[in-house]
Amino acid sequence: MKNIFSSKRKITFTSCNMWKSCSLNLVLKKIIQTRFFQTVSYSKKVGKLSIYEVNQMLTANECAKEFNKGPVKSLDSNSLGSNIPIEDSRSAIISNFDSSLLVGVFDGHGGPACSQVVSKRIMRMIATSLMPKNLLKTYDQSQNNIFASCLNDSFEFVDELKHIYEESFAKYVADLINDSLYDTHDITEKIKNAFFQLDKDEALNYNCKRTMAVALSGTCALLAHVSKNNLTVANLGDCVAVVGSYSENGEWIAKKITNEHNADNLNEIRRIISEHPNNEKDSVIRSERLLGQLAPLRALGDFRFKWSKKILEELVVPIYGLQSIPVHYNTPPYLSPCPEIFQYNINTTDKFLVLATDGLWEIMTPMQVVRLIGEHMVGKAFLQPLRLPKRKLSIGDINIILDQRAKGLLMQPHDRNAATHLIRNALGGTEYGISEDKLSHMLSLPQEIVRLFRDDITIMIVYFDSNFIRTCPTVKSN
């Protein structure tokens, strides 16, 4: 198929192996990993990367941003691919109205197309829906960023798709303006509406072949909106959001905000079974997957789990064959585009928010992640040049400062970006610290086996401004 994105970053959509299961059972996976290292002379089979090449690879997709007002002090982000091309995406948008921040990570499957499209479109739709109605009425299609500014937009749609999406967005804004109950909708309703509208536009639109090409693949989505002391998180799929807090006892605490929508979530299993006839209770979830094929139980895109069987037979089977319709496909839709919404009031002990795709959480626990970021915050201070206090100092005072500096330098991290710091530790960490040898091996794995060891990893870390939170009146999310 043709590329769906133009010159900023060319992403080619392919449907190769998209109908097959994307990972092995974890036990089998572990056995294969162990036997691989036991029976293969690894350094001979795979060209080992140098430390310079490792660092180049780890920092290639870094992104960092500092803010001078509002509840967010700074943002660190990074991604590391396992698939080629990477199927994860990420996005961050700052509101031009109230400086609130909207960030998101998107874990694609079956190709990168859906996650890339969703990361651009859903953020813009949600940011727009949160504007006052009088501002919505000033919408001008020629002013692309009138309501919000994207912080790390690295690609553009090809002209054909751009035209389709701009027309769709203009209609979306018009519908918001014409909604007589718009001002009564809370943020939860607005976010859910954006998800439903986007999925209807992409996955449920079988009249447009170009958008059908996008919805052949699918994506999980995890979004967070930070405004004043309010944190609203929307989750669809198996990404995870965690708040890192520092207690009065000097201990780090990991607060998991979201639930994964997969076979480990019994409430999610019960929900899906309840939505289908009793005679399907043994076929809806098989081998811990939706209809035996899809691991996330909620997602955007993936129209072959949503369309009627009749439409699939008419439009999809002639191109992809009968295997494109899942076995026991009787009462669609099976896959929900409805996000689960969580609201949280940020307090002064809350220091940062982590959003990450499951590639990170397969390797690390929330507590490990929070502690690593906490240690990075302390050590990062020693990456700055030494500045002496603006007062008279004795030789003894200077000796104390230099001694503290020397001890602190032992704690300084290799990376300024905390997301890179996490990836380095996830892939190269041992009980004795970072193993350069292990890290090099993990990044040198050939494409045919790399997915046995690691998935795509995408991380967003949002640092809260404690001083702003301390002086901000407590206001519940609307």
pLDDT in tens, 340-383: 999 999 999 999 999 999 999 999 999 999 999 998 988 765 55
Length of the chain (residues): 478
Count of alpha carbons within 13 Å of 16, Cβ hemisphere only?
7
Helix/strand/coil percent split, the chain, to 5: 40, 20, 40
CB 223 within 8 A of CB 102: yes
Distances (CA, A) of 428 to 50, 82, 433, 434, 454: 14, 15, 8, 5, 12
SS3 323: helix
* Amino acid at position 336, single letter: S
Report the C-alpha gap between 275 and 281 in whole angstroms: 10
pLDDT of residue 385: 59
Give pLDDT, residue 2. 38
SS3 318: helix
At residue 137, the pLDDT reads 86
**Which two tokens mark 206?**
């079988």
Copy the structure tokens of residue 475: 């206001």
| Residue-level pLDDT at 285 | 96
**Side chain identity, residue 278:** N
The Cα 239–Cα 257 span in angstroms is 11
CA distance 118 to 214: 10
What 3 state SS string does 43-100 have?
HHHCCCCCHHHHHHHHHCCCEEEECCCCCEEEEEEEEECCCCCCCEEEEEEEECCCCC
Residue written as tokens 């005072």?
A: 397
Tokens representing residue 191 in the block: 């976010």
Residue stretches of the chain with pLDDT short of 50: 1-25, 28, 31-32, 35, 37-45, 409, 477-478
Position of tokens 């769709």? 168
Q: Which of 219, 221, 148, 136 is closest to 185 using CA atoms?
A: 136
- What is the spatial distance between Cα 320 and Cα 439, in angstroms, rounded to a whole number? 40
